[in-house]
Amino acid sequence: MEKLILFIVITYLFYCIVPTFYHKWLPTKAIKYLANKNDIALTFDDGIDSIYTNQLLDLLYQYHIKATFFIVAKTIDENGEIIKRMIKEGHTVGLHSLEHKNALFHGYFYTKKDFEMSMSIMKKHGLHIRYFRPPWGHVNLFTLKYIKKYNLDFILWNVMVGDWKKSSTTKDITERLIKKARKGSIICLHDGRGRDKAPKRTIEALESAIPCLQSRGFNFVTLEEING
């Protein structure tokens, strides 16, 4: 019995825990590329949100900033106009899974469905997806198989400010953004989900943080611009 438990634990470790932490510790290609530039990439996960994503796009437009949106594929059908606006305004669209499920708790069949349905939805909306960020940054061995199959770039982040938390005030998010942003930052923020209308506070924080970061000479780039 003990041997069986040990076997299950070791299998689980190599199925998802080791691959997840390997990718979290290893700087991705985009992070390496940005390391010596005065560039910052704003990235937004968990949208599309029918209210907040549009408000965020208004703000980015106001400051002539382009960003990268990692989108939950199931939200696209109801928000086709927002996707069209993102593309028209020069933002990069990446994939953030089909319905925001955690890869640590899923096997082959769900992971297959997750990618196949997501890519099919993206294709239906005329989107050619190159970038993938898994929910919570978690992967399993099958996630890696499908990233390779669809020729996606695995993109994580190196700055996170806890903007999804109920306890994070607009002031907290603003201060963390200003303090943590440096050359080569890939900043992970959220325009959907989150506690207690969290994206509203994220947008309010960016209203103060963007001009401050611009005055420090940072350029804002998309993943597409990083990769040429």
Q: How far is the CB of 192 from Zn ion (least distance, A)?
A: 8
Q: Which is nearer to Zn ion, 135 or 199 (CB)?
A: 135
Q: Which is nearer to Zn ion, 135 or 184 (CB)?
A: 135
DSSP character string of 96-108: --SS---GGG--H
What whole-number distance in Å separates Cα of residue 193 and Cα of residue 196? 9
Q: Is 46 in the site for Zn ion (CB under 5 A)?
A: yes
Query: What is the token pair recorded at 212?
Result: 């401050």
CB atoms within 10 A of CB 62: 10
The SS3 of residue 59 is: helix
Q: Segment near Zn ion (CB under 5 A), from 76-84, 108-116, 123-131, 132-140?
A: 132-140
What whole-number distance in Å separates Cα of residue 65 and Cα of residue 21? 32
Q: Which is nearer to Zn ion, 42 or 213 (CB)?
A: 42
Q: Which is nearer to Zn ion, 168 or 218 (CB)?
A: 168
Dump strand ranges (E) for the chain.
Answer: 39-47, 68-71, 92-95, 131-132, 153-154, 159-160, 186-190, 219-220
Q: How far is the CB of 46 from Zn ion (least distance, A)?
A: 4
Q: Is 135 in the site for Zn ion (CB under 5 A)?
A: yes
CB atoms within 10 A of CB 172: 16
Q: How far is the CB of 121 from Zn ion (least distance, A)?
A: 17
Q: How far is the CB of 133 from Zn ion (least distance, A)?
A: 8
Q: Which is nearer to Zn ion, 45 or 114 (CB)?
A: 45
Question: How far is CA 80 from its chain centroid?
Answer: 19
What whole-number distance in Å separates Cα of residue 104 and Cα of residue 135? 10
Q: Which of 39, 45, 163, 191 touches Zn ion by CB under 5 A?
A: 45
Q: Segment near Zn ion (CB under 5 A), from 108-116, 120-128, 134-142, 176-184?
A: 134-142
Q: Is 114 in the site for Zn ion (CB under 5 A)?
A: no
Q: What is the contact surface with Zn ion in residues (CB under 5 A)?
A: 45-46, 135
